[in-house]
Amino acid sequence: MRPTTVALFTPGIDEFAIGVHDGAAFVGRFFVDLFRRPLHVGEIVRQCHAVGYRSLPLITLTGLVTGLVFTQQSRPSLAAFGATAWLPSLITIAMVRSLAPLITALICAGKVGSNIGAELGSMKVTEQIEAMEVSAINPFKFLVVTRTVATTLMVPALMAYCAFVGLVGSYLNVHANEATSLEGFLKAGFSTITFLDVGASVAKSFVFGFSIGIIACFKGFNASSGTRGVGIAANASVVLAMFVIFIEEVLIVQIVNWLRGF
């Protein structure tokens, strides 16, 4: 007999449900171990350096190019209505509200998420995690909590830096074409930015950073045996983190738009 449609999809549904359950248990364990001693402050600082400082060159290049290109592409549309004076305001709103948090999160998901997934996956398949348990060290606390805290703290900082660099790129373009002064650019740009805009971007960055860290750690911590499992863990960390980031972006934007109505 040919399998029915339900029979064909049942294994996939079961696997998805098990994955959701395991992921929820993993997140719950993180919050339980987060406030337990030892805190491993030194490891957290080291991971913050790995996440933040080593990402600066890529964030700098991407932010600068984004500001330049977005300004250049927006100018013809505004020029058609004689509204090029609105360029600073348009770019500032776009960078602060959406582009800086999203670009930073996607870069960190690709660079940091893959590194964490591959590192923990390699430790898993070479049984280093089991060796830590034998040495009376909580591997979840030392490996997962420290890395997730680091990504949660550093992504907002990188977001602010990305927004700054993007605005610098935009100013260079605007100054070269309209001879706008720095003071005029800043006044026009930030005249429409509210506390809600800044707060929402910071909140988004914290959520994005936590998602990147916890997903990468989950995939690496549960990597299958063999070198192939390391590659799968690294790839799955990036793909799933980016997917979750886009979902969170849509949800947070809806919440912020709802708050603007009050």
Nearest alpha-carbon partner for 220 in 96, 91, 125: 125
Give the residue-averaged pLDDT of 239-257.
Answer: 93
Q: How far apart are CA 151 and CA 233, in angstroms?
A: 18
Model confidence at 9, pLDDT cuts 50, 70, 90, reads very low
For residue range 185-208, what is the model confidence (pLDDT) as tens digits?
889 888 888 899 999 999 999 999
For residue range 105-134, what is the model confidence (pLDDT) as tens digits?
999 999 999 999 999 998 888 888 888 877
Q: What are phi and psi of 40, to 5 degrees?
A: 55, 50
What the block records as the tokens of 91 is 């770019």
The model's pTM: 0.90
Question: Are the C-beta atoms of 96 and 198 separated by less than 8 Å?
Answer: yes
The H or E element spanning position 240 is helix 227-260
Question: Are the C-beta atoms of 150 and 47 separated by less than 8 Å?
Answer: yes
